Amino acid sequence: MRSRGLPPRQKLLMVAPPGSGKMMTAATLASELKLPLFTVLHDGLIGKLISETAILLPLVF
């Protein structure tokens, strides 16, 4: 990323409607930059209560 003038990042969270190409964009970007790609399904993050979601999010990110 430094070669492209971007500051180094450790994580990227992409949020957009279904079918907008997030996965394809992420896979292409990771492949081009030779970086690992981890996908997280929202079903594993969203709890029944807001407090459950607040506890789960930092565990992933």
Q: Quick: pLDDT tens for 12-52.
A: 778 888 899 988 998 998 899 888 887 776 665 565 666 66
* The two structure tokens encoding residue 27: 């896979």
Tell me, yes or no, whether 13 lies in a domain: no
Q: What is the pLDDT at residue 53?
A: 65
Query: Is the Cβ–Cβ distance between 43 and 31 less than 8 Å?
Result: no
Q: Which domain holds residue 55?
A: 2-8+19-60
Tell me, yes or no, whether 56 lies in a domain: yes
Q: What is the pLDDT at residue 28?
A: 93
Q: What is the pLDDT at residue 35?
A: 83
Domains identified in the chain, total number: 1
What would you report as the CA-atom Rg of the chain, rounded to the nearest whole angstrom?
A: 14
